[in-house]
Chains A and B, each alone.
Chain A
Amino acid sequence: MKRIFNGLFYILKFLLLVGSFGLTLFILIRMNVRLDKDMISILSQLIPFLLLFVVFIINMIFKQIGVTKNLFYNLTCCLVFAIIIFVGYRAIFDTNMVLNQKYGYGIDFNYFDNFIAYIRIMLYGLLIANILFMFREKDKNVDKSKELKKA
């Protein structure tokens, strides 16, 4: 059961990462276009997404089971990305927020802007946790079973 859930969250976290990155990128670009600001200024908001993606790829390539088979970590990743998508959705579609109507941009930048700090905190937190999970003692039982098989 645990393995099934872990597999599910492991796949889901990649999909949600792409979705949350896409939505954040869309809103930030619209925000900068409105203000006529240089697009380079949004890079700092996107770097944690890219770093996390790179780390996920490293986890996958080097089969770091400390991360890939960590149900709690995968669940937290899914939750964080799902919330970023939920906030992006609300910024665009929640018409009860009156500033969306007042400024007429179709996106409540004011609301989303409040959330950017939380996005960065959560993504950098996941990144640090991921790096720490990479350092893991070798599983002696696994080694022993391999030696037994060889024998």
Chain B
Amino acid sequence: MKKILLEYANVFAYTFTGLIFGLAFFLLFINFYHMQELAQEIDISEYNINNKMNVQNKIETIKNNISVYDQSTYTGTLNTYGLNTVKIKLQSCLDIIESDSLMQYFELNEINIKDSYNFILDYRNEILNDCLVMQIKSMQNIDTITSLPDFNLISPYIDLNVSSVLTSTDYIQNNIENSDHYNFSTDANKNNFFNLVNDSYSSTMNNYINTLDMLVEISNWYRSIVVGG
């Protein structure tokens, strides 16, 4: 009886050790894989060339549109305080967009997960907060601007877009922050669903370009009222 019990104890001891051995190897491999996955770098040089051209074209369009108004030569009937304020606000947004901290992302040839994450943070802090909320959205509370022609037409467009882009990068930021946990993302998974580095960057870039499109629309409206008024 004693012999059988001792043999059982030995069998259980080996079973426990084997299970722990398996778990330890599993953790070792998943940690190596996770570390490699987070250190992944993706070549975006071609993608960035197109984006840079696209963004520069939009910036030029906005610059041309707001340059039609010059207070010293303006002879129209519209409220010059309102026109000045809109121009200053659009110019502030342009300064933010053209700042080195944002333009650096178009110079990158390779990105890793930290670049994607920093791009989201800079986009949210500088474009969404400093430009959209502080400059563009605040136009709706300034009487001299709201009294400008057709502002009631452009205002719902601003509302809709601002509320859309303000939350559209939340899930990307959350995804990257959750990447500190283990996950079983395989190559097939990355190709079919969501590549954390590449897709995060391109999603943020899409939002960035959508925001610029909105600024172009606002500047078009501005140009039309200055030229028409």
Contacts and interface: CB of A to CB of B under 8 A. Distances in A.
State yes or no: do A and B come from one complex. Answer: yes
A118 B10 contact: no
Interface in A68-105: 72-73, 75-76, 79-80, 82-83, 86-87, 90, 94-102
A113 to B, nearest CB: 10
Contact of B113 (A73, A98, A125, A137): A98
Given A118-B23, A129-B17, A135-B9, A98 B176 contact: yes
Given A86-B31, A97-B38, A98-B117, A111 B10 contact: no
B35 interface: yes
B9 A132 contact: yes
Contacts of A130: 13
Interface residues of A, number: 39
B21 A128 contact: no
B42 interface: no
A19 B21 CA distance: 19
A96 B9 CA distance: 45
Interface stretch (B95-103, B162-170, B177-185, B213-221): B177-185
Contacts of B182: 114
A56 to B, nearest CB: 15
Contacts of A90: 31, 35
Interface of A: 66, 72-73, 75-76, 79-80, 82-83, 86-87, 90, 94-102, 108, 110-111, 114-115, 118, 121-122, 125-126, 128-130, 132-133, 135-137
